[in-house]
Amino acid sequence: MSGYDKLIFELSSPGRIGYSLPAPDVPNADPKELLAAKHLRASPPELPEVSEFDVVRHYSRLSQLNYGVDTHFYPLGSCTMKYNPKLNEDMARLGGFARLHPLTPETHSQGALQLMWELARDLAEIAGMDAVSLQPAAGAQGELAGVLMIRAYHLARGERRTKVLVPDSAHGTNPASTAIAGYRVVQLKSDAEGGVDLTDLERNLDEEVAALMITVPNTLGLFEPRILEISEMCHAKGAQLYMDGANLNAILGITRPGDLGFDVCHFNLHKTFTTPHGGGGPGAGPVGVRAHLEPFLPTPVVTKTDDGYALDWNRPQSIGKLQAFWGNFGMLVRAYTYIRTMGPDGLRAVADNAILNANYLMKRLEPHYDLPHPGPCMHECVFSARRQKKLGISAMDVAKRLLDLGFYAPSTYFPLVVEEALMIEPTETESKETLDAFCDAMIQIAREAESTPQVIHDAPVTTPVRRLDQTLAARQPDLRWRPRGG
């Protein structure tokens, strides 16, 4: 399996075809008669000529070079790599969803609109928000929408604020989204316990601050214990409070962003709500707001009227559109299916088991790896490999050795506030048996670091390729295949 080294282009053989198209059934089929020569491509693109079976075998074999949640425990912190139910996939592929054109008249898309309306309502209940837009395509776009709504809110009140506060432990998307929305990003320090440093917050919180953007639980897997105080401090200065909902899985049914004082939060449906990660997407990043921000929601908004469900475009204060159509609907169908599968008690059990699994794993690994911020943790925990580093073994080395032992790796070197970080999120869908096997592997690596470090330095050896030369890739970018001699 690991010997398979081809690109689809390298399977090409002139004259081979992998498609089946109908013969033209209309007259005047010659493009040269319909369009001027300047509009017609002079030479064909260099694309492969392969049979259908070539394609099927090639991509089947490529898939086998991957670790996925279906095949491997995937403890990638902050990404909530839980089981992606097969039923969700079936539902998203139903013809009335998968083959529905976005500009179908509303009279003929009532089922889709109803699903969106109900999902928005359910997400609002889950987050304690008053309204939800399903349009953002991913978490980062949800952040952009949220910050733009905050901006529009302040401007509508005649306030031109210039700064957004973001803790140093935040996801990189937070400062990036904030910057695109036109704000200066001010980084806040974390305190010794990994929470927001209230003194630093106090010092930076003035009337120029549009918002504080924080992740709850934070990227250290810890719940911010002074969240209500932080909320009061922000609101007293007229600043809005934004919650990055990447870690919402931990608090389902336990507490709600709205009840914690947040004005805006986004949801990552590909994390908490089981839509698959797809090798990097698509996801979906709906954004929820309290009532005072509702006028600024992206257009259109799905509404329920006496005549049924409709898209409301008449939103004069809206921040506008984020993508061409209404949202990543296929992902919305999956998340809706999941919520209806779980019900209120099931979702609460999700959070409970996610927390239980993370704490169990943390307890088992604590003797073997440094834990800069002791728990209890929420849905994930962050270890440091600094003890191993003294033996010449980095967090990266630990990650690579895990691949050999049959596990995907935790997130490494994030959050930035932890040296040699190993961020582990087991999720609730993994059993104790799997967690034990993973912990055994982690403990084995800690021992190897002391006794046989070379085996770690050599890792991985069981994967299709060994450690790759990142420097070469960046110095001499080779970003596309070219024909030999081309």
- Using CB under 8 A as the binding rule, the residues of this chain from 180 to 209 that contact another protein are 180-183, 185
Binding mask 83-122 for another protein (x = CB under 8 A): xxx-x-xxxxxxxxxxxxxxxxx-xxxxxx-xx------x
> What backbone torsions phi and psi does residue 164 show, to the nearest 5 degrees?
-130, 135
The vertex-205 CA angle with 151 and 228, nearest 5°, equals 90
Structure tokens, 174: 């937070």
Among 198, 310, 391, 403, binds another protein (CB under 8 A): 403
Strand 421-424 vs strand 411-412: parallel, antiparallel, or unpaired? antiparallel
Min separation Cβ 455 and another protein, Å: 15
Assess contact for 180 and 144: CB atoms under 8 A: yes
Which tokens is 307 given? 């005549």
B/e letters for 319-350, b = 16+ CB within 10 Å, e = fewer, are: beebeeebbbbbbbbbbbbbbeebeeeebeeb
Q: Is 392 in the site for another protein (CB under 8 A)?
A: no
Residue 210 CB, nearest approach to another protein (Å): 12
170 vs 165: CA distance, rounded Å: 10
Q: Which of residues 328-387 bind another protein (CB under 8 A)?
A: 328-331, 333, 337, 339-350, 352-353, 355-357, 359-360, 363-364, 375-376
Q: Compute how many other C-beta atoms are within 10 angstroms of the C-beta atom of residue 143.
A: 30
Contacts of 94 (CB under 8 A, 6+ apart): none
Residue 128-167 contact track with another protein, rule CB under 8 A, x = bound: x--------xxxxx-xx---x--x----------------
| Distance of closest approach, residue 177 Cβ to another protein, in angstroms | 4
Q: Shortest distance, CB of residue 361 to another protein, whole angstroms?
A: 9
Looking at 44-52, 198-206, 234-242, 444-452, which segment touches another protein (CB under 8 A)? 44-52
3-state DSSP assignment of residue 424: strand
Region from 289-297, 380-388, 395-403, 441-449 binding another protein, contact rule CB under 8 A? 395-403
* CB of 482 vs another protein, minimal distance in Å: 8
Q: Hey, what are 447's tokens?
A: 């021992």
**Residue 433: what residue type?**
E
Single out the residue of 156, 202, 291, 325 in contact with another protein (rule: CB under 8 A).
Answer: 325
> Smallest distance from the beta carbon of 240 to another protein, in angstroms?
16
**Ranges within 268-297 binding another protein (CB under 8 A):** 268, 270, 274, 276-285
Amino acid at 6: K
Nearer to another protein, 344 or 392 (CB): 344
Q: Does residue 169 bind another protein (CB under 8 A)?
A: no
| Least distance from another protein to the Cβ atom of residue 454, Å | 13
Of 236, 470, 484, 485, the one binding another protein (CB under 8 A) is 470
Calpha distance 297→152 (Å, rounded) = 10
Cβ-based nearer residue to another protein, 291 or 416:
416
Angstrom distance (rounded) from CA 201 to CA 218: 16
Q: How many residues bind to another protein according to rule CB under 8 A? A: 210
CA-closest candidate to residue 424, choices 352, 368, 376, 359: 359
